[in-house]
Structures are given as C-alpha cells and as structure tokens.
Amino acid sequence: MDNYGNVITNITQKVFKEVGKSRPFSIHARNMKFNRIYSSYSEAIDFSQPKENREEDGKKLALFNTAGHLELAVYKSNPDTVGSASSLFGLNYRDIISIQFES
C-alpha cells in the first residue's frame, strides 16, 4: 500500500506483457474485478462529458505506476475521509491479486 492507500502489486508491466501476449484478461482482487488497465488516472475519466455527467469520484481503476508495477486505485479517494483502494476493496498487505488471461 502506498501513502494514498493504493494497492501496489509485485506484477510488473514487463511480466504482464510477456505472459499476457495481448490477450484479454481480468484482474481479481477479493471481490473486485478489473478488465482494463489505464495508462493514467486522467485517462479513466471522460472529460468530454459535462462534470455532472462524469463517472468520476470513487471510480475503481488499474494502471501501471511510474515504477512499472500494477496498481489498483480509486479515483479521488481520500484515506482519511471516504477511504482508499485498500480499505474500500478490503485488501491488506500480502493479499492475493490474480490475473486470468483468456486462451
């Protein structure tokens, strides 16, 4: 977990690409499922929509962080008020995150 409560895995982008071979995938973390990896936090939000129509606060997302590791996060979360990815997803240090690639 980082200072913001984001879940940082030991799965690197390099290993993900080597094993995945561009196949469709699903990431499983407890009862959460992710089918897409964003390239940045801002890519997860459709800024062409008016602010009141955007799916923004609380949106769950997966991305590779600047260190190249898979990160699970909640857009605009706050660990001190509404919670963070780790608390909202019910994840703790050393919990299992798995990726299932389609054949």
pTM of the full predicted structure?
0.84
For the chain, give every domain's residue range.
7-101
The span from the CA of 32 to the CA of 12, in Å, is 20
Going by the DSSP 8-state scheme, the letter that residue 44 receives in this structure is: G
Give the span between the Cα atoms of 52 and 37, in whole angstroms: 24
Over residues 12-58, the pLDDT tens digits come to 999 999 999 999 999 999 889 999 999 988 888 778 888 777 776 67
Q: Are 11 and 101 in contact (CB under 8 A)?
A: no
Q: Does domain 7-101 have CATH number 2.40.30.90?
A: yes
Supply the Cα-derived Rg of the chain in whole angstroms: 14
Query: Which amino acid type is present at position 53?
Result: N
